[in-house]
Amino acid sequence: MKNFFKLILLYILSISCSGSQNNIKQYSIETLMSNNRSSGGYFSKDANKLIYSSDKSGIFNIYEVDLKTYEETQITDSEEESFFVRGYSPITGEVIYSADIGGNENSHIYIIRDGKSIDLTPGKNTKASFFGWTNNELEMYVISNSRDSRFFDLYKIDVETLSSEMVYKNDIGYNLNSISNNDNYLVLSLNISRSEQKLFLYNVKTKKQDEISNQVANFSGQNFDKNDENFFYTTNYDSEFYYLMSYNLKNGERNIIYETDWDVAFSYLSKNDLYRVIVVNEDAQNKLTITNMIDKSNLNLIGFETMNINSVGFSDDEKLLRVYAGSPNSPGDIYTYELSTNKLNKITTNLSSNVNPDDLVNAELIRYKSFDGLEIPAILYKPHKANNLNKVPALVWVHGGPGGQSRVGYRALIQYLVNHGYAILAVNNRGSSGYGKTFYALDDQNHGEDDLQDCVWGKKWLQDQDYIIPDKIGIIGGSYGGFMTMAAMTFRPEEFKVGVNIYGVTNWIRTLRSIPAYWESTRTSLYNEMGNPYTEDSLRLYNISPLFHAKNIKNPVMVLQGANDPRVLQIESDEMVQEARDAGAYVEYVLFEDAGHGFVKKEQQIEGNEKILTFLENYLK
């Protein structure tokens, strides 16, 4: 009799919970895409203004906020290309930004002068990026491959005359990391493999180059202190994770500055060395520490208790912080924070007033065992209404890369699908970054094999959950995740009911032979990881390429592609779609003529995301 009453009580509770969850509002993609995204957030020299980029116009434009009145002015009104602000000229106050054309990734650097944009790095095939300011702030540094499309050289551009001068000619394929405050030292790195980089300090005046990487390991340059007495870098030598080191430029002495059981993602000092910022990639989300270098105390930023702080930036006088913070169920926002008073001001409001964040879901970090017992980290997004009486379909979500990581944070597509009743498990399969160098190397020359098994076992984990419909699970991913999607549909055709491939690699031989020229610095490392397409490795690359095994596809597939994608060429998706259709598979194909490797415009995201949901509603749910 007791068991009977227990069952009755459980039933009543489940009905009660179900009733409360019926209040969850379901949103159209147009409503969810009325949420905005922002980037940047740079103070003017006097800290009276802040400038940032936002896509609230439908595409990224530049906006300026007066920090005394909090009045906002739209600086640009682009309708075709996204403009990403890089800051102010310290002397003239003019705005510096970058932009490419149609997502082709050939970004140029521009200055807004007298209301007009001037291209500082012209050239049809030029790719350039902003690199900082000289010590006197009269010239800006940019890196550009205009001389040789394979290599990035360092230039100085005079802000007054806009004339340029080459500072460093790069004929080896170095990555240019940073330059010292006194303009004397350039930090160079060289990719050998995924497990080894070399790090160098190049003296601009003497042309002498010293190697900092004294061991076989990964090295990443960070920054210098104010007087260029010490250089800081991260390394994972003799450790699973990156830790922060200092290197004294006078005597070569090295010291460990900060070490923990996760990767130190990056670190820097404020302009006058008053504060040190350390950001750790802890279980797929940033954990940030700001230390006062005088008394060694850590700052406690008040007002961000329910948010994750992703990054901060200081004003030159070190009195103000720009903070970027958000959560999985709400897009991140830009704030300013007065350090002396703890006064917090919200600069952007990226969550639409038409969206209640309580209707969206938070992320849950989980672990599951793969086929060989290896523990796989993953992020679960579970619909509010999902329970054992209201089971839902699910998707295994695979990140880009190779070597990327699914991270905790807001993604419009994930929230849209979960809001419409799909559970999503974002797997960080072996080979993902952030979980130690051993885990990171586990898929080297093993792509499409054990890492694919990790995705299949993610599906098995979902099937064991009492709120999942076990025979209605699909797979979705972009770029490398798109490859994994198509690998699943071709090599494990019975496992997933549908596959959504977003600009995914399907022919590794072609992709590795046609990588952009400006990837020259990573070519050797990439070939060491994936295989060299000009050697006998091509046999394995053929065997793991879904294009050549399209006849195996049994279940519906959707493919989304940008015509201007320089990484995964349109022909990659064209051929995959044709081969699959010729083999009798059902394939939907969405091609955006003005997009690259990623759909930046809101109209593209609205169309693509809505079509993904329609496809899932028809062929999965």
pLDDT (0 to 100) of residue 15: 43
Residue 251: CB partners within 8 Å, gap ≥ 6? none
Q: What is the DSSP string of 174-196?
A: -EEEEE-TTS-EEEEEEEEETTE
Give the CA dihedral 49, 62, 39, 174, nearest 10 degrees: -100
- List pLDDT tens digits, range 260-301: 999 999 999 999 999 999 999 999 999 999 999 999 999 999
Paired sense of beta strands 230-235 and 243-248, if any: antiparallel
Question: What does the alpha-carbon distance between residue 423 and residue 265 come to, in Å, rounded to a whole number?
Answer: 30
What's the rounded mean pLDDT across residues 125-140? 97
- Provide CB contacts within 8 A for 125, sequence distance 6+: 106, 149
Mean pLDDT score across all residues of the chain: 94
Could you tell me the strand order of the sheet in which 209-211 lies?
Answer: 175-179, 185-193, 196-203, 209-211
Identify the three-state secondary structure at position 308. Answer: strand
- pLDDT tens figures, 456-466: 999 999 999 99
| Structure token digits, residue 153 | 């050289």
> In whole angstroms, what is the distance from residue 219 CA to residue 194 CA?
11
CB 289 within 8 A of CB 298: yes
d(CA 305, CA 176): 37
Structure tokens at 446: 């093993």
Q: Which residue has the higher pLDDT, 13 or 60?
A: 60
Taking only the tens place, the pLDDT of each residue in 8-59 is: 444 444 444 444 456 899 999 999 889 999 999 999 999 999 999 999 999 9
Rounded (10°) CA dihedral 438, 440, 444, 449: 100
pLDDT in tens, 352-366: 999 999 999 999 999
How far is the C-alpha of 203 from the C-alpha of 437, rounded, in Å? Answer: 31
- What's the confidence (pLDDT) of residue 4? 46
Instruction: Give dist(CA 467, CA 380) in Å, integer.
Output: 13
Q: Look up residue 492 and give its two tokens.
A: 């494990």
pLDDT on residue 22: 64
> What pTM did the predictor assign?
0.93
- What is the CB neighbour count within 10 angstroms for residue 279? 20
Element of type H or E holding 119 = strand 116-119
Q: What is the mean pLDDT of residues 100-112?
A: 96
**Which CATH architecture does the domain made up of 361-619 adopt?**
3-Layer(aba) Sandwich (3.40)
In the predicted structure, residue 180 carries a pLDDT above the cut 90: yes
Q: Which fold has domain 120-346?
A: Neuraminidase (2.120.10)
Rounded distance between C-alpha atoms, residue 479 and residue 26, angstroms: 29
Q: Residue 377 — φ and ψ, nearest 5°?
A: -80, 145
Please check whether the two domains, 120-346 and 361-619, share a CATH topology: no
Give the C-alpha separation, 166 to 134, whole Å: 14
Report which DSSP code applies to 297. P
* Position 2 pLDDT exceeds 60: no
- Between 401 and 575, whose confidence is greater? 575
Model confidence over 199-231: pLDDT tens digits?
999 999 999 999 999 899 999 999 999 999 999
pLDDT surpassing 60 at residue 399 = yes
**192 CB neighbour count, 10 Å cutoff:** 15
Nearest Cα neighbor of 424 from 373, 376, 471, 459 is 459
Question: Residue for token digits 């394939």?
Answer: 587
pLDDT digits (tens, 9 = 90+) for 539-586: 999 999 999 999 999 999 999 999 999 999 999 999 999 999 999 999
Pull the structure tokens for residue 596.
């690259």
Q: Between the CA of residue 377 and those of 35, 413, 418, what are the distances in Å?
A: 29, 21, 20
Question: What HEC string does 520-563 produce?
Answer: HHHHHHHHHHHCCCCCCHHHHHHHHCHHHHHHHCCCCEEEEEEC
Q: What is the pLDDT of residue 21?
A: 56
Cα 232 to Cα 345: distance, rounded to the nearest angstrom: 32
CA gap 163, 519 in Å, rounded? 27
Helical residues (DSSP H) of 400-449, grouped into ranges: 412-419, 437-440
Asked if residues 382 and 391 have their Cβ atoms less than 8 Å apart, the reply is: no
In the chain, domain spans? 120-346, 361-619
Ramachandran class of 185: left when φ > 0, alpha when ψ lies in -120 to 50, beta otherwise: beta
State percent of the chain over pLDDT 90: 91
What are 31's two structure tokens? 């409503």
Partnered with residue 52 across adjacent β-strands are 40, 63
Share of the chain above pLDDT 70, in %: 96
CA–centroid distance for 249 within its chain: 33
- Position 23 scores a pLDDT of 87
Distances (CA, A) of 602 to 29, 33, 347, 526: 10, 7, 21, 32
What are the beta bridge partners of residue 64?
51, 73
User: 220: which strand partners?
Assistant: 234
Q: Is residue 401's pLDDT more than 50?
A: yes
pLDDT digits (tens, 9 = 90+) for 493-502: 999 999 999 9
E runs forming strands in 347-481: 364-369, 375-381, 392-398, 423-427, 468-478
Helix 480-491, helix 450-463: angle, nearest 10:
80
Q: Rounded to an integer, what distance in angstroms lies between the CA atom of residue 326 and that of residue 500?
A: 27
Across the strands, what pairs with 277? 268, 290
Among 478, 415, 421, smallest CA distance to 34 is for: 415
Is the Cα torsion angle 601, 603, 606, 607 positive or negative in sign? negative
3-state SS, residue 233 = strand
Q: How far apart are CA 518 and CA 504, in angstroms?
A: 20
Range in 12-16, 184-188, 231-235 with the lowest mean pLDDT = 12-16
pLDDT digits (tens, 9 = 90+) for 295-350: 999 999 999 998 999 999 999 999 999 999 999 999 999 999 999 999 999 999 99
Tell me what percent of the chain is helix, strand and coil, each rounded to the nearest 5. Answer: 20, 35, 45
* Bridging pattern class, strands 392-398 and 364-369: unpaired
Residue 134 Ramachandran class (φ > 0 left, ψ -120 to 50 alpha, else beta): beta
